Amino acid sequence: MNALLKEKHHQIRERVRAFAEQKVKPVIGDYEANEDFPVELIKSMADLQVFGMQAPVEFGGQGSDYLSYIIAVEELARVDSSVAATLAAHNSLGVGPILEFGTDSQKKKYLPGLCSAKQLWAFGLTEENAGSDAQGVQTVASENENGWLVNGHKKYITNGASDISVGISIVAQTGLLNDGRKEFTTFLIEKGTPGYTREFMKNKFLWRAADNAMIYFNDSQIPAENMLGKRGQGIKIMLKTIDSGRLSIAAMGLGLAQGAYEMAVLFAKKRKQFGKAIADFQVISFKLADMAMKVENARNTLYNACWLKDNGFPFGTQSAMAKLYCSQVASEITGDAMQIFGGAGFFRNDDFPIERFFRDQRLLSVGEGSSEVLRMVISRSVLKDE
């Protein structure tokens, strides 16, 4: 129970949890083991109406508040992070910037398909030397009589290579400003654009059933109307997109922590040592109590940040706090859960997939703002307030 939740929030939780338990949980282990992206499973989420759910009804969305979307990600992550990451990246990084910065014609062209669960869209910032340092982007877009010619690459791009991935928003250099600094602009590039190629990334430690890709642009010509926002707004668009995206990564941390905690409780009641369930030993029961407290605090922190966003208040600092804290909690709880499972946690077990949860949580302290960068963001806010 949480004071910020309304009946609509409870309904979306029940709906997504039922789907995750009935449709995702029985099959995701094989997809994960084989590093297969579950296209048909993703398409089957259409009835949930969670893809592009924050978009207005006129564009195919549900007009949902952000907290409803965050709860959907949380409930998927409670069962599996790869499926949760697909939804999180699509809504926050794919739909989000088009919805906020796109022209009416861009919204009408792209959003209905992206709200259908039949199409995915990616966001490309990260490169070999660009991530925490967005200024390190080396992909270049050169203006010509036909629009823009794009050359460069992006890496680790979620939803970048599958058959239902229909395009990507990228940040690229477009020249120099008057003060000599680099100018960055954002563009929409559709699948099928000449010179635009995608490559699945394999041999992953985590999120093995997610679509993570290398993206290449080799003289990719795009029309002028594919610019997203105004020229030179690339960094602004990227930063605003990531502020919202951090909330979805926090939701993944919260959901993963909840799932790991629930598994630990069930296992502790089942596993017997010295003639009784290990849950009856104070050292284990106290560990479970601490885990429950951390999950509760993480949920309160995240939901408060979502409330600020939904009600039009500045939320960047709270978003950074939520993402940092939820990723820490996910790490701590999966570590404690592994300790409770002991040797049983070291092997694949589709009934108790704690080893998958232990692996998947590791990305949360890196993606969409590393923990080190988030502490920089928070500390700047703290010092500014003083």
Which tokens hold the place of 247? 């909330």
Task: Name which of 350, 364, 357 is nearest 335 in CA terms.
Answer: 357
Which tokens hold the place of 60? 């195919």
Do residues 256 and 81 lie in contact, with contact meaning Cβ atoms separated by under 8 Å?
yes
What is d(CA 198, CA 115) in angstroms, rounded to the nearest whole number? 22
Query: Within 10 A of 225 (CB to CB), how many other CB atoms are there?
Result: 11
Assess whether 368 carries a catalytic annotation.
Answer: yes
What is d(CA 59, CA 189) in angstroms, rounded to the nearest whole number? 20
Catalytic residue (choose from 32, 75, 127, 368):
368
What is d(CA 33, CA 75) in angstroms, rounded to the nearest whole number? 22
Contacts of 323 (CB under 8 A, 6+ apart): 246, 247, 249, 250, 253, 364, 368, 369, 374
What is d(CA 62, CA 271) in angstroms, rounded to the nearest whole number? 44
Do residues 123 and 169 lie in contact, with contact meaning Cβ atoms separated by under 8 Å?
yes
Query: Within 10 A of 83 (CB to CB), how many other CB atoms are there?
Result: 26
Task: Name which of 105, 222, 207 is nearest 172 in CA terms.
Answer: 222
Residue positions annotated with a catalytic role: 368
